[in-house]
Structure formats: structure tokens, C-alpha cells
Structure 1
Amino acid sequence: MADASVRTATPDDVAEIARVHRDTWRTAYRDLLPEEVLTGLDVAETAPAWAEAVSNGQVLVAEEGRWLVGFCVAGPAPAEEVARADGSLPADAAATALVTVLVEPRWGRRGHGGRLLAAAAGRLREAGAARGVAWVPEADRSSTAFYGKAGWSPDGTVRTLDAGGRPLREIRVSGGLTPPLEP
């Protein structure tokens, strides 16, 4: 494998992060989301949101050689993302982070996701977080398995989103921010 690394995203990475987001969803979720939702993903439209996350220091990028191949967004979890199904907050809500890892499928299974999650976990621990949560489409076995290898598992909370008129059921996975997440 070529040189692989993880670093903090910069404003120069925003367009490529938006492209990876679009291309990954179009490949990984083509059987889960309506075609019009996937074709409607536009780099120019999503770039401002990515620029904000990058400016807040919440995005890490994975590179292989000169290619940006994936990213991780990680920061404090909003109350609605960590709440139980009944709306109550767990005792550790203030120490819980919301994490999203995306690696372009063509670069998958090369350790990039694990490096991203480990780097994010280290930063989150330094910021006082003890646990992470991520939302994964229930039918996305690959992502569920990825988080499972890091010791994260479904915590019993589900939600259903409207994905262009088609319901998309997501499960919340949760886990610690300590080893085995080390790179």
C-alpha cells in the first residue's frame, strides 16, 4: 500500500470532501436511497456545510499517497442524537460524541476507516468525551461491521428518515473511545 495518513482537514480539502461524500453515497447507498436523492447530491451545494465543519476543526481526512480517500466528522453529540428512544438523556450525554466515517468504497478495506476513527477517538478523549455514537442505515452491513470491529454495537435506538419519499431506517451504534481504536 502507498503511504497512508490521517490529518486535520483544511479549507483546501472542502471540495474533495464533498466529492467523496457524493461518490460514496452514490456507490454505497444505491440500493438504499432513491436514485433522485443520489443524483441530487451536488458538490457545490454540500460544500458550504463541509466548509463550516472544517472551520470548526471537526473533520479529519484520510489520504493514500496524494489522494484524499475518506473523512471523519466528529464532535460533541447534540442532545437529540444521544437521547434514548423515550427522549431522556443518558447520564453520559455531555461526554458523548457524534461520529461519522466515510471512505470511498474503491479505497475500502485498506485501514483508512480504522485510522480515521482512532485519530478522532484520540482527539475526542482529549476534549473530554468518553463515548461515541454513529447512525448507520440498518441495511448497511458493511458500516455496522466496521463499527463492530472497533467495539461499537447497536444500542437499541432506531430512527426512520424520509429519504426522498422512501423510509430509511437507521440504527445507532455506540462504543468507547479507547483501544482497540488505536491505529
Structure 2
Amino acid sequence: MPTADVSVRVAWSQDAAGIASVQLRAWQQRYDALLPQLLAERGLDPETHAAAWEQSLARPPEARHRALVALERNLVVGFVLTGPATDPDADPVVDGELGEFTVDPGHLRQGHGSRLLQAAVDTLLADGFTRVACWIDSTDDDARAFLSGAGWAPDGASRELADETGAGTVKQVRLHTAIA
């Protein structure tokens, strides 16, 4: 029986367009009603979004900030951002963070999320972190179930993200896990 050609690796600047495309499709699914306004406010189109990703991948803020991509053959089908936790109650020496964890909506439930999560945890462990947090939308039951199944739990923290006008808000909850 043939096996799928799938992998996870550190993202290269050449992956920028693929990451931007996956992110925009995921945002469209998650924030369909808010997305046109958010994109217009930020002046984002696929090309400028990809250019921003290319710059970010070429110059991360510090060595412990990483982007990993899930690939199906040479197609980017998901990505995760890892680095020190940025929350005020976090210790950036021991607390890591999944800054974003996204799988293309058309490639869900094919193992890409599991591979990305394992690679992210391995990367965070190699960087010396012993705990990891991740913010998810409070209404994203699939992400909550996936992470809970992998041993993550809510820690009681929540936040609201708002666009510049305040018209659209997204409530998020924080999940965490020990990895050491």
C-alpha cells in the first residue's frame, strides 16, 4: 500500500506564499463575517500577506522564534509558530508558546496537525521550555478537542481581540501543557 509523502520541517522564506495562503483560507473559515473588514483595514491581499511572511521568516525576532510547516509533497498544508511565551504572567525562560497553529481547512483530519504539534513540542523542548501555552478562539471546539486529546487543558485565562474599530471581537481562551 502506498504511503503519503508528508513531513514537517522548519519553514524557509520560500514557504511564505504557502503559509499566507493557508492562513487566509483558515481565517476565511473562522472569521468569514469579519474577514473582509479586517483585510481591508490592514490593506492585506494575498501578495502583501505573503511578502510580510517572507520578511518575518527571513528575520525572526530571536533565535527561539521558529515557524514550522506541514507539507504534503511540496505543498504547505499547515504551520505552527513557536517561541517564548509573551503573556505577562509567563516566565519566558521556561514558558513557550504556540503563537499560531493552523492547518489548511481542506487538509484537516489527515494527521498534519498531530505531526505539527509533535514537531512544535520537540522544538520547544530543544529550546529549553518546560511548559507551553496556546491561545484558541473560545468557539473553536475542534481545536479545543484536538489539544485536549493531546493533554492540554484550559488554565482559566481569557482575552478579547478587537479590530481597530471595535466592531468585531474574538474571545480566546488559553490552554497549556507541561512538556518536560
Provide TM-score, normalisation by structure 1: 0.82
Aligned match of 2:31: 29
In 1, the alpha carbon distance for the partners of 2:143 and 2:106 equals: 15
Paired residues, number: 168
Within the alignment, does 1:54 sit opposite 2:53 as a pair?
no
Secondary structure at 1:27's aligned position in 2? helix
Residue identity opposite 2:68 in structure 1: L
- The residue number in structure 1 matching 2:48 is 45
In structure 1, runs of 5+ residues without a counterpart are: 84-88, 179-183
Pairwise CA distance, 1:24: 1.1
Q: Secondary structure at the match of 1:156?
A: strand
Alignment partner of 1:2: what SS?
Answer: coil
Where structure 2 has 5 or more consecutive residues not aligned to the other structure, the ranges are: none
Number of the residue aligned with 1:94: 93
1:168: Cα distance to partner? 1.2
Contact 1:25/1:38 (<8 A) preserved: no
Structure 2 counterparts to residues 18-167 of structure 1, below 5 A:
18-30=20-32, 33=34, 35-37=36-38, 41-55=44-58, 56=60, 58-78=66-86, 81=87, 83=88, 89=89, 92-99=91-98, 100-163=100-163, 165-167=167-169
> What is the alpha-carbon root mean square deviation over aligned residues?
2.1
8 A contact 2:84–2:92 mirrored in 1: no
Shift of 1:150: 1.4
Report the Cα offset of residue 69 of structure 1: 0.4
User: Which amino acid in 2 is paired with 1:47?
Assistant: A
Q: Which runs of 4+ in 1 moved over 3 A?
A: 38-41
Q: Is the contact made by 2:13 and 2:55 (CA closer than 8 Å) also made in structure 1?
A: no
